[in-house]
Amino acid sequence: MDSFTPIPAAIGGTLIGLSAALLWLGNGRIAGISGIFGQLLPPASTVIWRLLFLVALVAGTFLAAALFPSLGRPATLVEAPRWFAGGTPLWIGIAGLLTGFGTKIGNGCTSGHGVCGLARLSPRSFTAVGVFFLVAILTVTLTGIV
């Protein structure tokens, strides 16, 4: 971690919670990104709000970076560890596939379970978030990538 930034983190967390609450109150849907994205193909009957949510998610990130450059430098892609001979694109592809597989078997992702599920006091979400944290700790320990 380069620096501790509590104010931008608090603002970001508040905005994430606000967007999840607005989606829940306005549309009756949980703001789980894997569920929202996963039902685009094949298109569900509710594809319009899903596309709007995802476009706003990406556009909001770019807008915040443009309006508030003092929040920090843009994120960069991780590089594959030295021991992995396949290269960074393959490393990122494998990571994406494993993430997608994990969200499928976990019946949700960190946004669905961590933000919305914990707020609803869902026992399944408490278990899922505990598993997320344990796997993250194990991954960082094994790969050395922070």
Would you list the DSSP string of the chain? -----HHHHHHHHHHHHHHHHHHHHHHS----HHHHHHTTTTTPTTHHHHHHHHHHHHHHHHHHHHH-GGG-PPP-PPPPPTT-TT-HHHHHHHHHHHHHHHHHHTTS-IIIIIIIIHHTT-HHHHHHHHHHHHHHHHHHHHH---
pTM (two decimals): 0.69
Each residue of 1-23: pLDDT tens digit? Answer: 567 778 878 888 898 889 889 98
Give mean pLDDT, residues 68-79.
72
Average of per-residue pLDDT values in the chain:
84
Per-residue model confidence (pLDDT) at position 72: 66
Per-residue model confidence (pLDDT) at position 1: 53
